[in-house]
Amino acid sequence: MSLGKLLKPSSIAVVGASDQPGKVGNVILENLRASGAKLFAVNPYDDYVGGMVSYPTVMDIPEMPDLAVIAIPAKYTVEVVAECVEKGIPFIIPVASGFSEIGGEGVELQKQLSKAIEGTKTRILGPNTLGILVPRNRIDTFFTPPDKSPRPHDGSIAVISQSGSVLTGVFEMAENEGVGVSVCVGLGNKVDLDENDFLEYLLDDESTKCIALYLESFEDGGKFIDLARKVTPVKPVVAIKAGRTERGIRAAQSHTGALASSSDVLVDGIFRQFGISRAYDVTELLDMAKGMAWLDHIKGSRIAVVSSTGGFGIIAADYIESSVRGVNMKLAELSEETKKRIIDSSVYFATAENPIDLTGAVTDRMFDAVLATLQEDESVDAILLLVQLQAPGTTESMVGITQKWSREGRKPIVVCSIGGSYSWEVLKRFEESCIPAYNSLKRAILVLKGLYDRGIYLKRIGSID
């Protein structure tokens, strides 16, 4: 079944719609106003909500909506789901918690939800979920107020999460860094729709270039593997699989009520075999996702480090080449012609050996010339560009220069800039130009390692030479 009417609905019913600020039904209704979808308020206690007619039940709505968002307590949700099924509504998002994650009565309520849609064409996302955010279509069912939880702009990363708080953390970090998303999905308790449904949909979604997952359990491990085999050769997948320890497994079970895998070794093996990049926290998840969305992979391990400071260049060299607290990659051995051209285009006291140190006398023009030179050196697989914006001759024009070589050049570029508020603002401009940029050497170099590992996987399966 296509998920089109879920992710791009033309009409939406909000059950539990409210005029009372702060209530879940009010926040959701207000967030959906920008969507352009036809909205229907459902509330048996008010004739008008949000300036529109309020219907007592979904059965009273004069047409069939594509989507119903149910913003009422769990104990009333099952009855409303049954009405949605009778109405023929294709997709339902019950946002309430109080289902299998609490055990006991909640488990029984969730079974009733499942039974209500059994044998029908109606699909459920959730319960216990934020629902969906699709910036391109301005579909936002989240019950977090945008002033407290800013949404990211449209982009190419899909975020699929079993946890609402993890989902919120990732998309707020994305917004703060200027990174766009194609879709955010809260899986919640996965009574029906699960990670496999969205992987299958996103495989053919042209707007999505990388898929970021947070999972506490697999609903159908065999199907997940089959889909990974199809997806990862054409789109990178980065995943956090939580529940790596005994206590983590117990916490996952109590969070969503789903069975977490007890073998982290098995999960790790599956991820490696089928090209899924593993992250261990949300920072790594977003770092890797944006790097892979914009660069996909690098073909080799030889890195050219371009810097204007000796110290950061040395730290980068150690982290790249060391197998102890490093990534065990290589610094590229630059050709004599490359080194000569670097010195000719910079100050005489610059260092042309890798890591390249253009010194504090660096200018935008020097960076531009060195990036041009490195495009011609066959020993270089990728470039780590350390742009220290404190240098008097370095300006915000570096964003445009780097963007030019990212688009026209042959060498993937990852940017790092370490500094304060000014550096942060310029980093955001790099990100808005789809150039992976980071405020720490470790984060930038770990992404280079992830891109290299993906290149190894693509070579192994014959997708690249």
Each residue of 184-201: pLDDT tens digit?
Answer: 999 999 999 999 999 999
Q: 404 CB contacts (<8 Å, ≥6 apart)?
A: none
Percent of the residues in the chain that have a pLDDT greater than 70, as a whole number: 96
Residue 163: name the closest of 225, 215, 241, 124 by CA.
215
221-279 pLDDT per residue, tens: 999 999 999 999 999 999 999 976 666 555 544 444 444 454 788 889 999 999 999 99
What was the pLDDT predicted at 243?
A: 78
Block residue for tokens 């280079």: 448
- 99 vs 95: CA distance, rounded Å: 11
Listed in sequence order, the residues at least 6 apart from 11 whose beta carbon sits closer than 8 Å to its beta carbon are 37, 38, 39, 40, 63, 64, 65, 66, 67
Half-sphere exposure of 269 (CA within 13 A, CB side): 6
* 351 CB burial (10 A radius; 0-12, 13-18, 19+): middle
Residue 347 CA to chain centroid, in angstroms?
Answer: 41
| Bond into 236 cis (ω within 30) | no
- Which residue spans of the chain are classified as CATH 3.40.50.261? 150-296, 297-460
Specify the pLDDT at position 373: 98
For residue 235, the model assigns a pLDDT of: 98
- State the span(s) of the chain assigned CATH 3.40.50.720: 1-124
Rama region for 19: left / alpha / beta (φ>0; ψ in -120 to 50; rest): alpha
109 phi/psi in degrees, rounded to 5? -60, -40
Query: In the chain, how long is the greatest CA-to-CA distance?
Result: 80
Instruction: Note if the bond before 127 is cis, omega within 30 degrees.
Output: yes
Under CATH, domain 297-460 is a member of which superfamily? Succinyl-CoA synthetase domains (3.40.50.261)
Look at residue 1 in the predicted model and tell me its pLDDT.
56
- 1-124, CATH topology level: Rossmann fold (3.40.50)
Give the CATH fold of the 150-296 domain.
Rossmann fold (3.40.50)
356 Cβ contact partners less than 8 Å away, ≥ 6 residues apart = 304, 305, 306, 307, 313, 334, 342, 350, 370
Angle at 59 between CA 56 and CA 65, to 5 degrees: 105
Q: Where are the alpha helices (DSSP H) in 185-304?
A: 195-203, 221-231, 246-256, 264-273, 282-295
DSSP, res 285 = H
pLDDT of amino acid 245: 62
What string of DSSP letters covers 164-179? HHHHHHHHHHHHHHT-
Running DSSP on this structure, what letter comes out for residue 309? -
Selection from 180, 200, 201, 198 nearest residue 190 by Cα: 198
Give the per-residue pLDDT at 256. Answer: 44
Q: Please state the pTM of the whole predicted model.
A: 0.94
The stretches of 88-241 forming alpha helices (DSSP H) are 105-117, 164-177, 195-203, 221-231
For the chain, list residues with pLDDT below 50. Answer: 252-260, 262
Contact of 198 with 179, CB cutoff 8 Å: no
What pLDDT was estimated at residue 428?
Answer: 96
- Per residue, the 3-state secondary structure of 335-393, as one string, reads CHHHHHHHHHCCCCCCECCCCEECCCCCEHHHHHHHHHHHCCCCCCCEEEEECCCCCCE
